Structure 1
Amino acid sequence: MHFQAAKVKSNVSKFIVGVTSIVSLFEFFLLPHSTVNSIDFTLISSHIQLFLTLTLALKVFSVPFLSEILEIENGKNLISWILRLFLVQNIVLFYKFLQILSIIEGDQSTYFSYCYVTLLVRYVSVGILLLNELYGQRLVEAYQKLEIAKSIAHTRKVISLLKPYFIPKSYEARVSAGVCILLVLIDLPVDLFQQILNKKIMDSMTFSSSMTNNSDSHTQAKIELNMANFRWELLLLTALLDVTSCYGITHNIRTYLWRNVESDSAGRIQVEIYTRLQHQSVRWHLEQGTGGRLTKLQSSSSDFTYFMKNILLSVIPQWLKLYVSITHLAIRYPWNITCIVILTTAFLVVAKFLLSTWRSKLEKMDKEDSKAKMKKSVDALLNYETVKYFCKERYEIHRFKEAFEETTQLKFNSKFASTMSWFLENVVRTVGQTAAKMWCYWMVLGDSELTLGDFVMLEAFFWSTYAPFDSMSWMYEWGQKVAVDAADVAELLELAPEIVDVPNAPNLEVTDGEIRFENVSFSYVPEREVLSEVTFRVEAGKTMALVGPTGSGKSTVMKLIFRLYNSSSGRILIDNQDVTKVTQASLRGTIGVVPQDCVLFDDTITNNIKYGKPTDEMEQITEYDVQHAAKCACIHEAILEFPDKYDSKVGERGLKLSGGEKQRIAIARTVLKNPPILILDEATSALDTKTERKIQSVIKNICKNRTSLIVAHRLSTITHADEIVVLKGGRIVESGSHETLLAKGGEYASMWLEQLEKKDHSTTIG
């Protein structure tokens, strides 16, 4: 049996609308004739409301069960909808109980005020139900076509992804957050109490007297100053509350304690983002570029926690004050003044929504342009040598200036949209505020129970009513800037790494170190295949060399063994273990590599050499171990000539060292790691002939009794290899020993003869 959530909603709507309409009609017609003692009908009405509330409560608890038993579609949406109805009914029931209390206390004016508020809440809820019943589907379709609907849906998704990082984890941060929220809740009644005190202070200063104008028999109220009855104790109490609440002591305590929450949340967000960046594949890092990665890391700054602080400690409390103020306004002031305030508030909400799409687009364009400018500037600064080699300083400055001018124009458009929004909001607010104050002023001077204190308190109510919209405007402007960053962060949090371990993957157990490629194919882009059905075997403890022209796929083979990429098809086995079925950490921990482009960290030579060891073993490495590795790489003597010797900083990316020095430190790093499998990707390409000859004997000793794979730059460096594989166009064209391949007179022999013709043997082959 299948039920649709829409059908269940329809039945519930009809039931609520029917019962509520009957009760509301009775109250509407009987209210003008009611007295304070007419408690019977109020009790009956309250019982009906209680019945509706309990019915909805039963539905809330039963729908999850019924959704499974009756297989109701969209059960979660139905539960959310019924919960909202349940909340409305509770609000109505709350005002019903207030009506009963006012009857018991004998306050007829308060009783009528609560009755009107109850009817207002009920009519709004019934109206929403009727609109949903009659035009619900059309409204949903129209709403979904709006850009703001997509924006809200995207914002909800971003918030759901970031929500776990906004909840403090440490005990100190949780206590601080709890105290901050408690202080906010304390400030709510204190703020209302201050407004009432200000009213009483003003009333104590004035008194009203009536005098008759004989010419037109008109009675006019005259308000005079009466300082004799001034309540000084109330003024002192108000001053004390001002000091302790709002922007006083409690505000400073909240600001101080919230730092613990900010440090906890911001720290966890940044660590999580950095972790995500580290686990992304090489392909992803190449696509993003250095500037893009730095921008994404910076976007996870403390702006999010600052935004959260203002939401929790400023915006939400002000909206709670709005609810309290409107409730008190409806009870204390005539219905016409209350309606003016509510209508003005409604117009402000409409204005916000109408302007949100325009401002959102401009803010997003501004932010994206700023990120593009950041990426360009970072790339130019990182590649400063290339800029100077080609005399491109003026070109880069011109590019940066153009990007800055474009950003300036976008910022101007964004600020213009913000200014226009503020202007229109202020117009709506000023018109509503002026109308309500004039009406109140007329009633104070006329025959009314309102006093001058009520007029003063109305001003405070206006602030409490419109302050949330002021804060919302500011938070919206700030939020649009943060939202783009938050979207980037959420994208990273949602982005799954391309290279992942299979569930419960075992560690790689290397016994012999045999490597096998079985019909391996790979392509960086679908249109161009780099490797095509490559098959070879490196026997345990043997050395294999890969040679071939540029673009033949030699370095790609190395990256696939390291699992920097996954092959498109085929298998790569180490000791009969598929590299995609074992953990990446154990795979890379058993392989040592000297890449063609050796990049060092901006740290000491000692720490750069130590980097080859596993993290848990780095502290155990002695100075002797580091120097022994450096001697094996023929770099020890050169290091001793540096001013700080092994404590010398190598500069960013090792730029303080020559290419040969960087490559030898990379070799020393691999020697210290002492792996069972060794990969040398043109390890001597940056060395001069004399140094290359020295280090060749070292490489032979390192490769002895280990499985080694060498990508050759100069064929003279791999003549000792047990087997040489020649790649061309992503395929193996021939293989064998140096002597065998020369005897064949094929591709390898032609490359060898070509290099012999060069006296310095320096032609780049692959």
Structure 2
Amino acid sequence: MRPYADNDYPAHHKPDWKVIAGLWPYLAEYRGRVAMAVLLLVTAKLATVATPVALKYIVDYLDATRPEQMIMWIPVALVVVYGLLRFGSTLFSEMRDAVFARVAERAMRRVSLRVFRHLHQLELSFHLDRKTGGLARDIERGTNGISFLLRFTLFNIVPTILEIVLVSAILLWAFSPGYVLAILVAVVVYVVFSIQVTEWRTRYVREANARDNQSNSRAVDSLLNYETVKYFNNEDFEARQYDEDLAEWEQARLRNRLSLAALNTGQALIIGVALIVIMAMAVREVASGAITLGDFTMINAYLIQLFIPLNALGFVYREIRQALVNVERLFGLLNEPPLVTDAEDAEPLEVRKGEVRFENVHFAYQAARPILHGVSFEIPAGHKVAVVGASGAGKSTLARLLFRFFDVDDGRIVIDGQDIRSVTQDSLREAIGVVPQDTVLFNDTLYRNLAYGRPGATEEEVHRAAKLAHLEQFIESLPDGYQTPVGERGLKLSGGEKQRVAIARVFLKNPPILILDEATSSLDTVSEQVILEALREVSEQRTTLVIAHRLSTVQDADTILVMADGRIVERGDHQQLLAVDGRYAELWNRQQKSGEAESSPDQED
């Protein structure tokens, strides 16, 4: 059982601030750039802090010097210094961003690739439980959150703290401690208020994210099942369901906005009160002659200079809090341990003959519902073994276990004497070709979908595979030929055409072991005969496991296994099983009488 589904992240769960420490590996790749960016950051901040000092001397010189005594080059020089400090602050900040840009973008690239690879390593059950739309949103928000955390933690929080320290030191050195005390009190109150209120409103951020995932998942799921929606005239129903999700999202966003307004108002009040208190202190000291007009100007400039980034600090904290929520979800995906993994000493599978054996295999998707009970059989090298039986008997589970979508609970599966759990998954799956019941294609050209069987194949090899799968005549009839788009999930092709694409892929992959999982169950009789001919060709000289409902499609199998309730109850060839007059004969006679060799597709076994 996975800890969190798409929309059930607990509202009371607080993100772990250690997530920020987890970003260090992405910074470590460019240590030099990070160090240079930090150096430029400090330089920019020093220029920023020095600017009010230059302004003070300009004002004091102009205020204290009579026009007839004024030496013009002095204020001009001070103005030039002031302007250069202003320019230097901006220049060094932009240089800092330019130097750090590669670091942030590369980090997003690295983590996106890492998540993508990890998701492909997770077992089938994880993806069956997930909603694709919500998962895509988690990845998108998480990668953007990483970029935000890298940039703003380093370039907003750190420099703001540095500026507070520098300004406090200057004010303490040049003026009375009262200014520093007032600023520190304001900063502490501001930070505490921001943290407390942001913690309070985080529930609304999480709720808005969850509702966003929910509505997006609904939209994606509905559009992927476009035909089903049309079959049942359920466009209005889908729209109502989507609108209900959007209404929940709207309410969550509204609560989020209102709580944000409360936070902004409180922060503005704290800054306003602090400005009134500190400026009143400065006005009193100017009036008493304790400080100069230039000092007053410098204090005012420092307050503006300090509270602007402090105000930004409030925004940054809120955004960091939200980014942490998003990055935590992303890292949560990375922390999902694959349930099917390679053994530490796993070696590549060596296929010498291609003999497959199931030895006393027990398996259950859920402990309370066992599927297989001590299943044992052998597929000799180059032979075809078919498995038939009613829905729920456990037929498709055999194919999933052989391909290691799941691991057996007890017993073992061996290929040429090698337990498939002791070999690498890559080498195992490289040795097995699958023609599934429902072939799903990528939304790309027909050629690219064919070439997916072996992406490095030459154009000649792809064309040959299409010919062997009896696709050549169909492709020639298309105006765009191999460049014809197949549409989302291959919806522009018929069931038979998609199955032939799957067969062509297997020809191109050229594996020694083949699994045919209900490969003709959804086809009409005419299409079935064409596909069967192609399947016979692709299975020649290959060790083949056939999962079938239509018994007429497996008459040529060397051995037929009849399954019931997760056990093999009969075995033999077609004629032997008919002679026994048992379950197989009963199924055969029933299908012959009904005029079809098909039952409902097996989805659960």
The farther-off stretch of 224-233 and 642-651 is 224-233
| TM-score scaled by length of structure 1 | 0.73
Match of 1:245 in 2: 89
Q: Secondary structure at the match of 2:375?
A: strand
The 8 Å contact of residues 186 and 271 in structure 2, kept in 1 or not, is answered as yes
Match of 1:570 in 2: 411
Match of 2:4 in 1: none
RMSD: 2.4
The higher-RCO structure (CA 8 Å, 6+ apart) is 2
Alignment counterpart, residue 460 of structure 1, candidates 298, 301, 323: 301
The letter of the residue matching 1:283 is S
Alignment counterpart, residue 708 of structure 1, candidates 504, 526, 544: 544
Please list every run of 5 or more consecutive structure 1 residues that lacks an aligned counterpart in the other structure: 1-146, 209-223
Matched, 1:436 2:275: no
How far the C-alpha of 1:607 sits from its partner, in A, is 2.5
Between the aligned partners of 2:510 and 2:177, the Cα distance in structure 1 is: 85
The letter of the residue matching 2:258 is F
CA displacement, residues 390-411 of structure 1 (integer Å, 9 cap, x when unaligned): 2222222222222222222222
The 8 Å contact of residues 540 and 707 in structure 1, kept in 2 or not, is answered as yes
Matched, 1:607 2:448: yes
CA displacement, residues 362-382 of structure 1 (integer Å, 9 cap, x when unaligned): 212222221222111111122
The 8 Å contact of residues 47 and 85 in structure 2, kept in 1 or not, is answered as yes
CA displacement, residues 304-353 of structure 1 (integer Å, 9 cap, x when unaligned): 21342222223311210101111111121112232222222222232123
Between the aligned partners of 1:396 and 1:454, the Cα distance in structure 2 is: 67
How far the C-alpha of 1:763 sits from its partner, in A, is 4.4
Aligned length: 591
The letter of the residue matching 2:367 is P
The 8 Å contact of residues 47 and 86 in structure 2, kept in 1 or not, is answered as no
Q: Judging changes above 3 Å, is the alpha-carbon distance between structure 1 residues 150 and 371 closer, same or farther for their aligned structure 2 residues?
A: closer
Q: Judging changes above 3 Å, is the alpha-carbon distance between structure 1 residues 229 and 433 closer, same or farther for their aligned structure 2 residues?
A: farther
Between the aligned partners of 1:337 and 1:704, the Cα distance in structure 2 is: 89
Match of 2:7 in 1: none
Match of 2:292 in 1: 451
Alignment counterpart, residue 161 of structure 1, candidates 9, 13, 22: 22
Q: Judging changes above 3 Å, is the alpha-carbon distance between structure 1 residues 721 and 237 closer, same or farther for their aligned structure 2 residues?
A: same
Q: Write the mapping of 1:72-83 to structure 2, written as runs, cut at 5 A.
A: none
Matched, 1:368 2:229: no
Q: Secondary structure at the match of 1:580?
A: helix
Between the aligned partners of 1:149 and 1:465, the Cα distance in structure 2 is: 34
Between the aligned partners of 1:232 and 1:705, the Cα distance in structure 2 is: 92
The 8 Å contact of residues 372 and 394 in structure 2, kept in 1 or not, is answered as yes
Between the aligned partners of 2:524 and 2:269, the Cα distance in structure 1 is: 77
How far the C-alpha of 1:464 sits from its partner, in A, is 4.3
Between the aligned partners of 1:303 and 1:457, the Cα distance in structure 2 is: 37
Between the aligned partners of 1:365 and 1:765, the Cα distance in structure 2 is: 39
Match of 2:49 in 1: 192
Between the aligned partners of 2:524 and 2:137, the Cα distance in structure 1 is: 39
Matched, 1:296 2:126: no
More helix by share: 1
Match of 2:155 in 1: 313
Alignment counterpart, residue 492 of structure 1, candidates 333, 349, 355: 333
Q: Secondary structure at the match of 2:17?
A: helix
The farther-off stretch of 643-652 and 698-707 is 698-707
Match of 1:675 in 2: 511
Between the aligned partners of 2:151 and 2:433, the Cα distance in structure 1 is: 48
Match of 1:329 in 2: 171
How far the C-alpha of 1:611 sits from its partner, in A, is 1.8
Match of 1:426 in 2: 268
Match of 2:391 in 1: 550
How far the C-alpha of 1:622 sits from its partner, in A, is 4.0
How far the C-alpha of 1:386 sits from its partner, in A, is 1.4
The 8 Å contact of residues 663 and 686 in structure 1, kept in 2 or not, is answered as no
| TM-score scaled by length of structure 2 | 0.92
CA displacement, residues 4-51 of structure 1 (integer Å, 9 cap, x when unaligned): xxxxxxxxxxxxxxxxxxxxxxxxxxxxxxxxxxxxxxxxxxxxxxxx
Match of 1:591 in 2: 432
The farther-off stretch of 235-244 and 269-278 is 235-244
Q: Judging changes above 3 Å, is the alpha-carbon distance between structure 1 residues 330 and 148 closer, same or farther for their aligned structure 2 residues?
A: farther
Matched, 1:203 2:60: yes
The 8 Å contact of residues 160 and 310 in structure 2, kept in 1 or not, is answered as no
Match of 1:758 in 2: 594
Match of 1:287 in 2: 129
Between the aligned partners of 1:206 and 1:228, the Cα distance in structure 2 is: 11
Match of 2:5 in 1: none
Matched, 1:381 2:223: yes
Matched, 1:471 2:312: yes
Matched, 1:653 2:514: no
The 8 Å contact of residues 603 and 649 in structure 1, kept in 2 or not, is answered as yes
Q: Write the mapping of 1:386-401 to structure 2, written as runs, cut at 5 A.
A: 386-401=228-243
The letter of the residue matching 2:516 is L
Q: Which has the larger radius of gyration?
A: 1
The letter of the residue matching 1:192 is V
Matched, 1:406 2:267: no
Q: Secondary structure at the match of 2:362?
A: strand
How far the C-alpha of 1:699 sits from its partner, in A, is 2.8
The letter of the residue matching 1:159 is I
Percent of residue pairs identical = 34
CA displacement, residues 488-545 of structure 1 (integer Å, 9 cap, x when unaligned): 1110222222211111310111112111111212122222112122111112221110
Matched, 1:636 2:472: yes
Alignment counterpart, residue 584 of structure 2, candidates 748, 754, 762: 748
The letter of the residue matching 1:397 is A
Between the aligned partners of 2:110 and 2:53, the Cα distance in structure 1 is: 44
Q: Secondary structure at the match of 1:552?
A: coil
Match of 1:531 in 2: 372
Q: Secondary structure at the match of 1:484?
A: helix
How far the C-alpha of 1:280 sits from its partner, in A, is 1.3
The letter of the residue matching 2:49 is L
Alignment counterpart, residue 76 of structure 2, candidates 220, 228, 232: 232
Between the aligned partners of 2:308 and 2:34, the Cα distance in structure 1 is: 24
The 8 Å contact of residues 207 and 226 in structure 1, kept in 2 or not, is answered as no
Between the aligned partners of 1:326 and 1:549, the Cα distance in structure 2 is: 80
How far the C-alpha of 1:698 sits from its partner, in A, is 3.7
Match of 1:41 in 2: none
Between the aligned partners of 2:416 and 2:463, the Cα distance in structure 1 is: 33
Please list every run of 5 or more consecutive structure 2 residues that lacks an aligned counterpart in the other structure: 1-9
The 8 Å contact of residues 44 and 93 in structure 2, kept in 1 or not, is answered as no
Q: Secondary structure at the match of 1:627?
A: helix
Matched, 1:483 2:324: yes
Q: Write the mapping of 1:109-188 to structure 2, written as runs, cut at 5 A.
A: 151=14, 154-169=15-30, 176-188=33-45
Q: Secondary structure at the match of 1:299?
A: helix
Between the aligned partners of 1:479 and 1:342, the Cα distance in structure 2 is: 23
Match of 1:14 in 2: none
Between the aligned partners of 2:358 and 2:22, the Cα distance in structure 1 is: 41
The 8 Å contact of residues 548 and 765 in structure 1, kept in 2 or not, is answered as no
Match of 1:734 in 2: 570
How far the C-alpha of 1:226 sits from its partner, in A, is 9.8
Q: Judging changes above 3 Å, is the alpha-carbon distance between structure 1 residues 405 and 226 closer, same or farther for their aligned structure 2 residues?
A: farther
The farther-off stretch of 310-319 and 296-305 is 296-305
CA displacement, residues 687-721 of structure 1 (integer Å, 9 cap, x when unaligned): 33233334434433433332111111310111111
Q: Judging changes above 3 Å, is the alpha-carbon distance between structure 1 residues 150 and 642 closer, same or farther for their aligned structure 2 residues?
A: closer
How far the C-alpha of 1:484 sits from its partner, in A, is 2.2
Q: Judging changes above 3 Å, is the alpha-carbon distance between structure 1 residues 340 and 508 closer, same or farther for their aligned structure 2 residues?
A: same
The letter of the residue matching 1:561 is L
How far the C-alpha of 1:356 sits from its partner, in A, is 2.7
Q: Judging changes above 3 Å, is the alpha-carbon distance between structure 1 residues 337 and 299 closer, same or farther for their aligned structure 2 residues?
A: closer
CA displacement, residues 75-126 of structure 1 (integer Å, 9 cap, x when unaligned): xxxxxxxxxxxxxxxxxxxxxxxxxxxxxxxxxxxxxxxxxxxxxxxxxxxx
